[in-house]
């Protein structure tokens, strides 16, 4: 059955129709970031001009990805954004994460490196707190468990090398990848990042658990400690 069109007249209806046609004809690249956000706002704002709200959100958070990753309460602090609109935006972020995650669960992680980086960037680059995760892999380098260790600085007070290796053994993992983010945006590793990585790698060597890498994600990009020769 064909989708019913909204025939009610309201300000901005013609603009919405034109924006929809540009999206359908040219794909997402045909729209600027604020226009993509305008279109997403249609789901929560049935009538009216969404452009001012879209531009206000971009101004408040800095970018389209930052808007989609913002806390619902922070989104609602922007005039014109209510609970329904905030939920619509968060659903888009959730869909993006699940699409990216599916790319790394269907094949060996080490053979899908860019997909892994894309997933971690979508999931962590815009966090306002430092988050530590461990990706546990099996002998085929497929993801066994994506474990959220905790939030806060990555040091032995938060990440215990023996506990990380013990968990790997408990779930039958043979390798792991450490991951955390830098809310500052700069992904360059600190001395503490390097030290904890080498302690976990040393603990793993004693029990046959390989630490493939430690990836640090930030808004400005990512860093692989393996690529930098720090593991």
Instruction: Give the domain CATH number at 160.
Output: 3.40.140.10
Residues 217 and 119 placed together within one structural domain of the fold = yes
Q: With beta carbons less than 8 A apart as the criterion, state whether 46 and 88 touch.
A: no
Q: Could you say which DSSP state residue 107 is in?
A: S
Residues 176 and 217 placed together within one structural domain of the fold = yes
Q: With beta carbons less than 8 A apart as the criterion, state whether 155 and 198 touch.
A: no
Residues 154 and 88 placed together within one structural domain of the fold = no
Q: With beta carbons less than 8 A apart as the criterion, state whether 52 and 112 touch.
A: no
Helix segments in the chain, DSSP class H: 13-26, 33-41, 51-61, 64-68, 72-75, 83-105, 113-124, 161-170, 191-207
Reading the block at residue 57, the tokens are 């959100």
Asked whether residue 60 is domain-assigned, the answer is yes
Asked whether residue 22 is domain-assigned, the answer is yes
* Residue corresponding to tokens 């988050």: 131
Asked whether residue 174 is domain-assigned, the answer is yes
Q: Bridge partners of 193?
A: none
Q: Could you say which DSSP state residue 110 is in?
A: G
Reading the block at residue 112, the tokens are 């899908």
> Is 70 exceeded by the pLDDT of residue 101?
yes
Q: What CATH number should be reported for the domain holding residue 44?
A: 1.10.150.20
Residues 120 and 205 placed together within one structural domain of the fold = yes
Q: With beta carbons less than 8 A apart as the criterion, state whether 181 and 127 touch.
A: yes
For residues 61-76, average pLDDT: 88
Asked whether residue 191 is domain-assigned, the answer is yes
Q: With beta carbons less than 8 A apart as the criterion, state whether 78 and 56 touch.
A: yes
Residues 81 and 114 placed together within one structural domain of the fold = no
pLDDT the model gives residue 122 = 86
Residues 92 and 133 placed together within one structural domain of the fold = no
Q: With beta carbons less than 8 A apart as the criterion, state whether 198 and 163 touch.
A: no
Segments forming the whole domain that contains residue 66: 13-97
Residues 183 and 114 placed together within one structural domain of the fold = yes
Checking DSSP bridges between strand 210-218 and strand 143-151, what pairing results, if any?
Answer: unpaired
* Residue corresponding to tokens 């990380």: 164
Residues 89 and 116 placed together within one structural domain of the fold = no
Q: Taking the model in full, what pTM does it have?
A: 0.73
Asked whether residue 1 is domain-assigned, the answer is no
Q: Name the domain count of the chain.
A: 2
Asked whether residue 67 is domain-assigned, the answer is yes
22 against 131, higher pLDDT: 131
pLDDT tens sequence across 32-54? 888 888 888 887 777 678 889 99
* Residue corresponding to tokens 């990440």: 159
Residues 67 and 123 placed together within one structural domain of the fold = no
Domain boundary among 97, 123, 142: 97
Asked whether residue 207 is domain-assigned, the answer is yes
Contacts of 107 (CB under 8 A, 6+ apart): 142
Domain boundary among 66, 97, 128: 97
> Is 60 exceeded by the pLDDT of residue 111?
yes
pLDDT tens sequence across 122-146? 888 888 888 999 999 999 999 999 9
> Whole-angstrom Cα distance, residue 231 to residue 218?
20
Residues 49 and 112 placed together within one structural domain of the fold = no
Asked whether residue 102 is domain-assigned, the answer is no
pLDDT tens sequence across 159-171? 789 899 999 999 9
The CA distances from residue 61 to 91, 118, 219, in Å, are 18, 21, 13
Residues 176 and 197 placed together within one structural domain of the fold = yes
The CA distances from residue 93 to 11, 40, 86, 88, 206, in Å, are 28, 11, 11, 9, 40
For residues 114-118, average pLDDT: 91
Domain boundary among 97, 116, 150: 97
Report how far apart the first and last C-alpha atoms of the chain are (Å, whole number): 58
Confidence band, pLDDT 50/70/90 cuts, at residue 155: low
Residues 133 and 62 placed together within one structural domain of the fold = no
């Amino acid at each position: 059955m064909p989708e019913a069109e909204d025939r009610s007249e309201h300000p901005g209806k013609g603009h919405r129709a034109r924006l929809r046609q540009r999206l359908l004809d040219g794909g997402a690249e045909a729209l600027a970031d604020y226009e993509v956000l305008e279109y997403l706002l249609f789901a929560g704002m049935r009538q009216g001009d969404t452009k001012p709200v879209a531009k206000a959100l971009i101004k408040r958070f800095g970018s389209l990805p930052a808007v989609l990753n913002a806390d619902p309460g922070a989104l609602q602090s922007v005039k014109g954004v209510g609970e329904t609109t905030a939920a619509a935006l968060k659903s888009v972020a959730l869909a993006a994460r699940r699409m990216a995650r599916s790319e790394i669960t269907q094949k060996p992680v080490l053979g899908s490196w860019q997909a892994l980086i894309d997933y971690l960037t979508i999931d962590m680059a815009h966090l306002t707190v430092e988050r530590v995760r461990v990706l546990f892999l099996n002998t085929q380098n497929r993801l066994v468990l994506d474990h959220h260790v905790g939030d806060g600085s990555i040091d032995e007070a938060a990440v215990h090398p023996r506990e990380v290796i013990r968990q790997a053994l408990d779930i039958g993992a043979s390798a792991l990848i450490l991951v955390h983010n830098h809310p500052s945006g700069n992904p360059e590793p600190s001395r503490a990042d390097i030290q904890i990585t080498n302690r976990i790698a040393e603990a793993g060597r004693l029990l046959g658990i390989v630490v493939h890498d430690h990836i640090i994600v930030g808004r400005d990009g990512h860093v692989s400690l393996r690529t930098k020769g720090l593991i």
